[in-house]
Amino acid sequence: MAYLFHQDQLPKLVSAVPGRERTFFVDQELANTDDMLAGIMRYRQGAASPLHLHENCEHFYFILDGTGEVETPRGRREVRPGTLVFIPALAPHRLRAVKSPLFYFEFQAPNRFKTQILDGTPDDLKWNRVEGGVWWQS
């Protein structure tokens, strides 16, 4: 049996720090699995994630629309549609929507990770559900 979801039917999460929103397609709530976390992200132009890392988690971004940059200890690299970014566990990284809004697919595995903020605030991990709930990234 297959389950079909449209993004408009799923909870949208809006960052407490303005400019970022996400919709998960695969997570514990929707798919009853913690083997992976997957969904779409939208950044307004100028928005950025904090510099952070994930313990016990491989992280992928696939850029669908817009131009931005990914920052790692090796510097900054431009990302644009068709770019796949792989972030190994424990690797510091930040994503920015530099020249335009940014729309991308995000995949993290496993979904049993802890995020450590290296440059930012605890609010960078706070996401408000559109229907009023609050979800904290672990």
pLDDT in tens, 67-121: 999 999 999 999 999 999 999 999 999 999 999 999 999 999 999 889 999 999 8
- pLDDT in the model for residue 1: 60
Average pLDDT, rounded, for the chain: 90
User: Is residue 76 one of the residues assigned to a domain?
Assistant: no
User: Is residue 28 one of the residues assigned to a domain?
Assistant: yes
In the predicted structure, residue 135 carries a pLDDT above the cut 90: no
Q: How far apart are CA 14 and CA 104, in angstroms?
A: 15
Report yes or no: 54 and 21 within 8 Å, Cβ to Cβ: no
The larger pLDDT score, comparing residue 82 to residue 34, is at 82
Q: How far apart are CA 55 and CA 89, in angstroms?
A: 6
- pLDDT in the model for residue 8: 78
In the predicted structure, residue 131 carries a pLDDT above the cut 80: no
132: which residues sit within 8 A by CB, 6+ positions away? none
Read out DSSP for 83-118? Answer: -EEEE-TT--BEEE--SS-EEEEEEEE-S--EEEEE
- pLDDT in the model for residue 105: 97
pTM for the whole structure: 0.89
In the predicted structure, residue 4 carries a pLDDT above the cut 90: no
One-letter amino acid identity for 136? Answer: W
Give the pair of three-digit tokens for residue 127: 């996401």
Q: What range defines the domain where residue 24 resides?
A: 16-66+101-131
- pLDDT in the model for residue 136: 58
Report yes or no: 24 and 38 within 8 Å, Cβ to Cβ: yes
In the predicted structure, residue 132 carries a pLDDT above the cut 60: no
Residue 22's pLDDT band (cuts 50, 70, 90): very high
Instruction: Tell me how crowded residue 5 is: count the other CB atoms within 10 A of its CB.
Output: 13
Number of domains in the chain: 1
